[in-house]
Amino acid sequence: MRIGITGGIGCGKSTVAGLFEHAGWRRLDADALVRDHVLTEARVKEELRQRFGAEVLAADGTVNRARLGERVFSDDAARLWLEELIHPVLFDLWRAAFAAEPAIAWAVEVPLLFEKNLENWFDFTVCVACSRAQQLARLEQRGLPRALAEPRISKQLPLAQKIEQADFVLWNEGSAEFLQDQVGRLIGSLTAGR
């Protein structure tokens, strides 16, 4: 079984994926795969250098994700170009992981699940949601000022639409125990017939 976990930035996708992992599911984090594997590929780095200039690469040759983020979140054409560059590489990593262990339960964090019409990769989709105020507060706690958080939120599908499209919704506005209880119930219902 494959579950696609999505939601707005700062809503708690990683927390929920971690709870699935703690329950024995295999976890894949799209953002971590991009950071640790896709952006380390020589071809990808060269394409980034050609498109954005050497300033998106650090002195050690790694991608400066903060600078890259500044470029792509202020320019829709650049953001879409970047997605076209990295998504095929990411999808190849997913295919390899799923093929290597087809019988296990997968929990996959996918921030742009609905934006990129990736529902067909998964048996079920889960949206992790919270209020806009809570979302912004969490992002500020992570060190992302509101002035930078708002444009990033605006580049994603509105949370209400993600909620509407998801098979399941987890509301992450209460305590950690409340969220853990929701995830436990969801896992129970998903695995009841297996």
Q: What is the mean pLDDT of residues 1-21?
A: 94
Based on the fold, state whether residues 114 and 83 are members of the same structural domain. Answer: no
CA 151 to chain centre: 17
Instruction: Give the pLDDT score at 62.
Output: 92
- Chain mean pLDDT for the chain: 91
Please say if the pLDDT value at position 193 is more than 90: no
**Can you give the length of the chain in residues?**
194
Look up residue 67 and give its two tokens. Answer: 């600078």
Residue 167 has pLDDT above 90, yes or no: yes
Q: Helix or strand or coil: residue 148? A: helix
**Nearest one of 100, 96, 105, 99 to 1, comparing CA atoms:** 105
Q: Which residues pair with 29 in a beta bridge?
A: 109
Same domain, 12 and 36: no
The answer to whether position 193 is within a domain reads: no
2: three-class secondary structure by DSSP: strand
Do 160 and 72 sit in the same domain of this protein? no
- Domain containing residue 5: CATH number: 3.40.50.300
Question: Using 50, 70 and 90 to split pLDDT, how confident is the model at 66?
Answer: confident
Domain ends where: 48, 82, 103?
103
Residues 94 and 112 in one domain: no
**Are residue 119 and residue 174 in the same domain, yes or no?**
yes
Choice among 154-158, 172-176, 177-181 with the minimum mean pLDDT: 154-158
